[in-house]
Amino acid sequence: MKTRGKLKLTIYLLGFAGAALFTILLVRQGVMAVGAAVATAGWAIAAIAAFHFVPILLDAIAWHVLFPKAVRPRWQSLFWMRWIGESISNLIPSAAVGGDIVRARLTTIAGTPMAAAAASVIVDVTLGVVTQIVFTLLGLVLLVEATGRTSLVGPTLVGAIVAIVAIAGFYIAQRLGMFRFVSVIITRLVKSPEWSSLVQSGETLDQTVRDFYARRRGVLACCSWTIVSLIGSSGEIFIALYALSAHPTFLNALILQSMAMTVKSAAFPVPGQLGVQESGYLVVGNLLGIPGETAFAISLLARFRDLIVGIPGLVLWQLIEGRRFLRAESIASER
């Protein structure tokens, strides 16, 4: 079996396992009870979807401050690019990193130099992982402080250490010139003079990435805005808890958001994190005294939010790509 076939089979198997886990958890919590909880939320679905544009905006600002002023796009443009990128990552199976690739492409289409566009996304993703680790540890400390329960301390710390090692390795590779190295390997494998410019492109991207990291003020500002976005996103959980009459506090919302995001990030190979996301809400919700059907309903509300926010984002993406394709066809026909 070819590598591509094995990859597809793996995705299908993970998706099937996630769907099975989702079904088992739903049955255990009670289909009618969960359905009643979601129905009780009512207006909260629209409110959560509307509020979600706040963290998208904050993430766009975090991305915006990374750029040197000479090549910095308007924050309004980065906002809709961020929206499209997140929509792709959330709604298209196995496209966990596809959204980041698309937003780099969209930034280039908008007039930003290709190296700067790609470097901004690479650095943004790297710093985003670092800040999410900090957010995870913050949630863990608050969870132990609020409940006295330490059952999640060990697994969370192990996961955090693995993530730190992985992101440190990725950062070192960036500093050492990983893109030139990769381009050299590809050029040697292809053995075509047409690909020789790829090495130069790799060198340019490596240097641009280093330049972005050298802007310490931009790096710190990006991390600051990202952590504000992560904390602010807890507002969605607060709205859900309030709508479900679960006696919400912002502390509980922050803890639930932090731990659930950690579980979701760890399960990125599973399409849509189906089943795994629900497990995270149930485990953490149980520690906080939130009924199982309520915790499951919160996860479903998050999925409804992804659809309400994400589908228009995908439509906007297709409109942009379609208009660009038609423009290129028109230019080609005139020649």
Give the model confidence (pLDDT) of 245-273 as tens digits.
Answer: 888 899 999 999 998 888 777 766 666 67
DSSP letter for 92, please. Answer: S
Q: Is residue 28 part of a domain?
A: no
| Rounded distance between C-alpha atoms, residue 120 and residue 152, angstroms | 34
Specify the residue for token string 């991305």: 63
Q: Is residue 234 part of a domain?
A: yes
Parent domain of 190: 42-329
Average pLDDT over residues 178-182: 72
**Residue that wins the pLDDT comparison between 103 and 276:** 103
Looking at the structure of the chain, the number of domains it has is 1
- The residue type of 22 is F
Instruction: Describe the chain by its helix, strand, coil percentages, rounded to 5.
Output: 85, 0, 15
Q: What is the pTM of this model?
A: 0.86
Secondary structure of residue 196 in the 3-state scheme: coil
311 in Cβ contact with 83 (< 8 Å): no
Q: Is residue 12 part of a domain?
A: no
Q: Is residue 29 part of a domain?
A: no
DSSP 107-169: HHHTT--HHHHHHHHHHHHHHHHHHHHHHHHHHHHHHHHHH---TTHHHHHHHHHHHHHHHHH
Q: Is residue 10 part of a domain?
A: no
Nearest to 284 by CA among 303, 263, 251, 259: 259
Q: Is residue 264 part of a domain?
A: yes
Q: Is residue 304 part of a domain?
A: yes
118-160: pLDDT as tens digits: 899 999 999 999 999 999 999 999 999 988 888 888 888 888 8
| Per-residue pLDDT at 194 | 46
| Per-residue pLDDT at 17 | 65
Longest CA–CA span in the chain (Å) reads 72
Q: Is the dihedral of CA 77, 91, 44, 132 positive or negative?
A: negative
Specify the residue for token string 């998208």: 56
Average pLDDT over residues 27-36: 64
Q: Is residue 86 part of a domain?
A: yes
136 in Cβ contact with 152 (< 8 Å): no
| Rounded distance between C-alpha atoms, residue 178 and residue 209, angstroms | 11
Q: 181: pLDDT confidence band, cut at 50, 70 and 90?
A: low
Residue 195 has pLDDT above 50, yes or no: no
